[in-house]
Structure 1
């Protein structure tokens, strides 16, 4: 899908016609609501295959370029891709209903996950795709640290993603320095239900997706170097120390990292593996 080329250093919100598959998905959702909002929605992926053929899913290899995958289905943070990463659960991290099987519930107080291994080698100048599901359990005044890889709460070599209920967005900081960054990548987030988020870095472009749809794109004349020695983490941004951020309170699930930039179609297909409509909204221990 083509975009008008913005000026270097400028940014814009994507304003594009909805692709055929997402438009059909929305129509199927409306149809399912009229019939049965619970039973019919689970049939959406099957109906897409019926309407468009098996090629809708068969063309997407979810393991191509996958360098880290945390399903959290074993109530820990083992790397299901077998690529040599591992997450250490710290504080009050519990097993909870995820978007697919189990996820990790963080209490917003001291719960966090700190990762070691190869996952920390891919946030440099290269292309990547980061994907995960999240479900907030509280609406705090302060931003809540979701995913972070930054050494300090400054402007140098920053990847920091936070749930901001006040601004109704997933604040996405992606920068090498104060004046070398991707502008306005933060997608709007409505409600506290399950959401799928993806961040794609492709050359001089960065894009964010929510529930399979492109919502933000930013471009620079030159790329951004994220290289730092800090570990990749969940709920553990160094900006917590400033008092202006809190740890994430909620559930996170199905975290993936690819060493390539997934296309818009691949992001949709990745999302349709576990559409949020199929997620269990309430979980009883």
Structure 2
């Protein structure tokens, strides 16, 4: 729920909120901080293990960092862009399921023991290229009709053909093994061969931001925020009854081939084709004036009181974090 505050530029109000992290209850103690800059943000609300902030200033927030009790901690900054229907951050770090952070409850079940590892942001999943995968529950919101965006941070080993995201007969994003070329298929033309293998500069053993958009017959491939390739291809997506998988090709709703060889993090599905500027935002974590963003602390916290310090590129503020 939005909590209104004064719009006076130069004042930062950290509202009292409560969030849940690692089974504890966390409370931010309110405080008022002043600044001379037009780069201003404030806390709007919280949900589970995330905090929503708003950039209420006139400058772009192009970086944000945090310390807990004087020690730097990692955070994930995700601009709130419309159309998100599935989001798997893999920050559980253990267990046999992967939660859907979009709120749509597309929970993934890990198949054949892919490993939890340190990722691009927080934790990620390491796939062995042999028989690993993640099977989503049958969520209607990823059964997309029309336009789509598929986004992920990938760290491939390029040893074999590697599926990033696959929903049989509807949409599929694949990295070719020996070359690192990228290909696509969708319900309008279910053929990797017709789309072709595209050299967009994907490298082995390094984290890269890979995005495919499909809008009304034009498919675009982005790498690290840059539009690397586009071509006319088919038309709009149509619905199928297939179940979506991450990390494997599933012809009969069972992982069967093209198992991803490497690591995947921060998978997101949108029910529209994002613009190049939106994709650049997601790659860089930029928060535009007037825009909301989700901040996720990626640290395990113990009960008691902690000092949390949030900083942008030009201002900082401090709050007391009480963990019960």
TM-score range, shorter chain: 0.5 to 0.7
1:99 maps onto 2:120 in alignment: yes
Matches within 5 A, 1:119-138: 121-124=142-145, 126-136=146-156, 138=157
Give SS of 1:266's match.
Answer: helix
1:88 maps onto 2:101 in alignment: no
> Partners of 1:227 and 1:109 in 2: how far apart?
29
Give SS of 1:206's match.
Answer: strand
Match of 1:32 in 2: none
Give SS of 1:96's match.
Answer: strand
Q: Structure 2 length as normaliser, TM-score? A: 0.57
Matches within 5 A, 1:241-280: 245-273=257-285
Of residues 121, 126, 131, the one that matches 1:110 is 131
Of residues 139, 145, 148, the one that matches 2:158 is 139
- Cα deviation code 1:52-101 (max 9, x no counterpart): x733769x942422111111101341011211211111112111011001
Q: How many pairs were matched up? A: 210
Matches within 5 A, 1:128-277: 128-136=148-156, 138-140=157-159, 142-150=160-168, 157-177=169-189, 183-184=195-196, 186=198, 187-220=200-233, 223-238=235-250, 245-273=257-285
Give the structure with the higher percent helix.
Answer: 1
Give SS of 1:215's match.
Answer: strand
Instruction: Tell me which structure has the larger Cα radius of gyration.
Output: 2
> Partners of 2:264 and 2:222 in 1: how far apart?
17
- Cα deviation code 1:145-165 (max 9, x no counterpart): 222111xxxxxx342222223
Give the structure with the higher percent strand.
Answer: 2
Q: Structure 1 length as normaliser, TM-score? A: 0.64
> Partners of 2:132 and 2:106 in 1: how far apart?
19
Q: Point out where structure 1 has 5 or more consecutive residues left out of the alignment.
A: 1-48, 151-156, 275-285
2:167 touches 2:250 (CA, 8 Å); kept in 1? no
1:91 touches 1:111 (CA, 8 Å); kept in 2? yes
Closer, same or farther in 2 for the Cα pair 1:119/1:71, shift >3 Å? farther
